[in-house]
Structure 1
């Protein structure tokens, strides 16, 4: 798993063979296949571990946050961005390789998006919003925005500061969820 964590992040899933994984991990191909059905299954296990850990971090931040829309949004976003960016490999697997892997992670990615959409819906459900807007669709929209901000952080020549990412994401979330645009 450790070798895949690094190799799937760079050079990437498509460029990482089982032979390279096994060489890096110092295990035999046979030992690999005793644990995983293939490199796709290993990528899915890595992605799901990253998602579960991030869901835990965000849930904890929301529990500890002030009981205001602004407080919850800021706490949840900061927790997620700090968690994702604390290790570039994690951010890359969750936001770049998940898309580049084709159908390999389609279902895993969809489960992750659904879990985060539920967290957003639950965290914002106590606060008023425009009655004609679907809260789930708003949650999906802000998840997409946050993903794009993290991809920008990963791929740009001049990485935005973490505080800039947080401020932009908070602004998008607050405006989308019906709150004032604050940073």
Structure 2
């Protein structure tokens, strides 16, 4: 392997280790030593890849966002071009995809917050990407919806985030279909009526 390939391979191993450890043990409890042990690399090699746990969390968070957006857009592109269909497809796929792997839901909706101020920018970039996705797929809103589109999209994102935090933290999590029903109801009432 070339030095670049070796570096890329180590970065990937660290991202995989972080995906497991940040979601299982939590960001605050996961040390660099634990990450290195899981990834089977030295501490020195860690710092060749990332400046610290926070930069690794940013890379992992960005990957989760990118994969989720790709999944959502793929599904939305396959439904009839009506507001109701796009809303239902986008919301349903977001929740389905994020809950397919509990670790993804935990990283996107809990651990990114627990990481603290160092991840505020990363989190804001993720929220902005989802706001753009919502606004792009809304098209023309009904005349009865006079609310600022940007603020409405932010509010909807907040509602879904809270549903998913409940799902991640609950001892007896609600069924995913119930999350989808609640979220699509909120979106329909906000955008489609």
1:96 maps to 110
1:66 maps to 80
1:109 maps to 123
For residues 171 and 69 of structure 1, the distance between their equivalents in structure 2, rounded to whole angstroms, comes to 14
1:11-90 equivalences in 2 (<5 Å): 11-90=25-104
1:166 maps to 180
For residues 19 and 48 of structure 2, the distance between their equivalents in structure 1, rounded to whole angstroms, comes to 19
1:2 maps to 16
Shift of the 138–129 alpha-carbon distance from structure 1 to 2, 3 Å rule, reads farther
Higher mean C-alpha displacement, 33-42 vs 130-139: 130-139
Shift of the 40–144 alpha-carbon distance from structure 1 to 2, 3 Å rule, reads same
1:111-150 equivalences in 2 (<5 Å): 111-130=125-144, 132-150=146-164
For residues 150 and 101 of structure 1, the distance between their equivalents in structure 2, rounded to whole angstroms, comes to 18
For residues 134 and 143 of structure 2, the distance between their equivalents in structure 1, rounded to whole angstroms, comes to 13
For residues 139 and 33 of structure 1, the distance between their equivalents in structure 2, rounded to whole angstroms, comes to 38
Shift of the 21–129 alpha-carbon distance from structure 1 to 2, 3 Å rule, reads farther
User: How far apart are residue 2 of structure 1 and its match?
Assistant: 1.1
TM-score (norm 1): 0.94
**What SS does the aligned partner of 1:12 have?**
coil
Number of residue pairs matched by the alignment: 179
For residues 83 and 98 of structure 2, the distance between their equivalents in structure 1, rounded to whole angstroms, comes to 22
TM-score (norm 2): 0.89
Could you list the runs of 5+ residues in structure 2 that have no partner in the other structure?
1-14
Q: Which consecutive aligned stretches of 4+ in structure 1 deviate over 2 angstroms post-superposition?
A: 129-132
For residues 46 and 144 of structure 2, the distance between their equivalents in structure 1, rounded to whole angstroms, comes to 52
CA RMSD in angstroms comes to: 1.1
